[in-house]
Amino acid sequence: MGGRIAAATLAVLGLAVLLVPLLIPVDQQLVDLRAAGLPPSLAHPLGTDEVGRDVLLRCVYGLRVSFLVGLVAALVSMVIGGLVGVLAGSFGGLPDRLLMRVVDGFSSLPHLLFGIFIVAMFAPSATAVVVSVGVTHWTTAARIVRSEVLSLRGRPFIEAAVSGGASRARVMRRHLFPHLLPHLLLATVLMVPHAIWHETALSFLGLGLPPHLASLGNMINDGQRSLLAGDWWSSLAPGLFILAPTLAVSVLSQRWRDRLNPRMRSELAL
């Protein structure tokens, strides 16, 4: 998938997520058993589900919900990881070693299993999913930020600011943060598809968003029953709506990452 195709894919999906709910409001609780299990057609391009709801519209609504949850979860993880990385890289010494051991400990935990443990303490909700992803996925951002802070500490403009009497907080705010912001933005963009997959997995297991809410994970879960009846589109459509933005973001972020800093490729892979 080329860069232009990836950008066009994200643009089309973004417009659909923004405009379709406004132009075609749908009651998620409304069912029409007379139209249940219809195959793809002109009236229903992706068919209908087991209770007669249009699969295409449900996918758009589901992508909207999954994207919002994934974005908030990614921001939470970036805030936690950014703070840990800045503190570890700025102070160095014993604080750095202690914080990085904490990072190693969280990295060694299976994310999905730990996420299931977290959401099991709450009722199925968007808040539970956000907390689950935020708590389990901040370690990559911490490593990226720490590495960048360590490389910046030896730069002449940082040494000049410290020699001029600038406090540690001022150095972080005025000199470190502007250089860290592009890296944090890139890490956040890369985290959003991963957070969507995480939300999908939890919802598929019945531990994510409430069952009545149109999310991609819930749709795939519901589509399992339809597969036995030969209604393959009920599961295939939400799967494609997960795959398409993930591939598009991967392609675009790869280009942005190479332009921003080729060294980040190895850092993000940690």
Q: Tell me the β-bridge partners of 48.
A: 54
Nearest to 204 by CA among 192, 193, 191, 215: 215
Residue 108 lies in a domain: yes
- pLDDT recorded at residue 98: 92
Tally of structural domains, the chain: 1
Residue 183 lies in a domain: yes
Residue 89 lies in a domain: yes
Three-state DSSP at 48 gives: strand
What is the domain range of residue 171?
A: 3-18+54-268
The Cβ of residue 127 has, within 10 Å, a number of other Cβ atoms equal to 13
- pLDDT recorded at residue 89: 83
CA–CA distance, 56 with 3 (Å, rounded to integer): 25
The Cβ of residue 262 has, within 10 Å, a number of other Cβ atoms equal to 9
Residue 42 lies in a domain: no
Q: What digits encode the pLDDT tens for the residues 35-55?
A: 777 888 888 888 888 877 888
- pLDDT recorded at residue 27: 67
Residue 40 lies in a domain: no
Q: Is 209 exposed, middle or buried (0-12, 13-18, 19+ CB in 10 A)?
A: buried
Q: What digits encode the pLDDT tens for the residues 107-162?
A: 888 877 888 888 878 777 788 888 888 888 888 888 888 888 888 777 777 777 77
Low-confidence ranges of the chain (pLDDT < 70): 1-3, 26-29, 166, 168, 175, 256-270
Read off the amino acid at residue 192.
V
Q: Residue 165's domain is classified under what CATH number?
A: 1.10.3720.10
Residue 203 lies in a domain: yes
